[in-house]
Amino acid sequence: MNEILNFIYHRRSIRKFTEQPIEPEKVTELLKAAMAAPTAMNTQPWQFVVVTEEELLKKIRNTLVFGKMKAPLAIVVCGNLGVFNKRVTNRFWVQDCSAATQNILLAAGALGLGSVWCGVHPIHTFERRISQILSLPEEVTPLNVLYIGYPAEEKPARTQYDPAKVSWNGYQKADVLSDRPDSTS
């Protein structure tokens, strides 16, 4: 199997971490990977808040219903809506920041780290509370929280490929698969 595809299939959400802190140079590599992501019209609307202080991590964990993981590091991926000078470009901040998020998750795996993505946007309560905890300015919206650390669990590689969720040359219901190139009918 292709080495890159194999790596992608091995990337899994890790929810149990050791207490070992992440080296600053690894954090820098994660952020470099994030900022290598594609972005609509090269607006680069992302802002990243790196959190290592236990008190702030605890407040973040207490805010997110599904974000109770105890990791030594969180990176909060935010969209800076203040960077937009054209109305159309501000509509792509979620996609741009999501691409940066995926790069961080993949880079974490490449560095021997585990990670998990916890959504913040578009839940206004979560957005407001995370913004307060991190003193974000009004034009900066938190998209998600990524918990990162050395994994204390292992998960097998997988793909969740489902051919019923794929249509060829136009949308078809899941039971109409005859136009698929790999169809056996």
What count of residues does the chain have?
A: 185
Rounded average pLDDT over 58-74: 97
pLDDT digits (tens, 9 = 90+) for 75-103: 999 999 988 776 777 889 999 999 999 99
What span, in angstroms and rounded, lies between the C-alpha atoms of 32 and 39? Answer: 14
How many CB atoms are closer than 10 A to CB 8?
A: 14
Which residue ranges make up each domain of the chain?
8-165
pLDDT digits (tens, 9 = 90+) for 156-175: 999 999 999 999 999 987 66
Residue 185 has pLDDT above 50, yes or no: no
pLDDT digits (tens, 9 = 90+) for 170-184: 998 766 555 555 555
Distance of CA 75 to the CA centre of its chain: 9
Gap between the Cα atoms of 62 and 117, Å rounded: 16
68 closest CA partner among 56, 57, 55, 54: 57
Give the pLDDT of residue 86.
Answer: 66
What is the distance between the alpha carbons of residues 8 and 108, in angstroms, rounded to a whole number?
A: 12
pTM of the prediction?
0.90
Task: Return d(Cα 136, Cα 184) in angstroms, integer.
Answer: 54
pLDDT tens-digit map of 112-148:
999 999 999 999 999 999 999 999 999 999 999 999 9
Please state, in angstroms and as integers, the Cα–Cα distance from residue 75 to each residue in 1, 28, 81, 145, 182, following that order.
32, 11, 18, 6, 41
In the chain, what percentage of residues exceed pLDDT 90? 82
CA–CA gap between residue 68 and residue 103 (Å, rounded)? 23
Read off the pLDDT of each residue in 148-160 and give the average, rounded to a whole number: 95
Superfamily of domain 8-165: NADH Oxidase (3.40.109.10)
Using 50, 70 and 90 to split pLDDT, how confident is the model at 67? very high
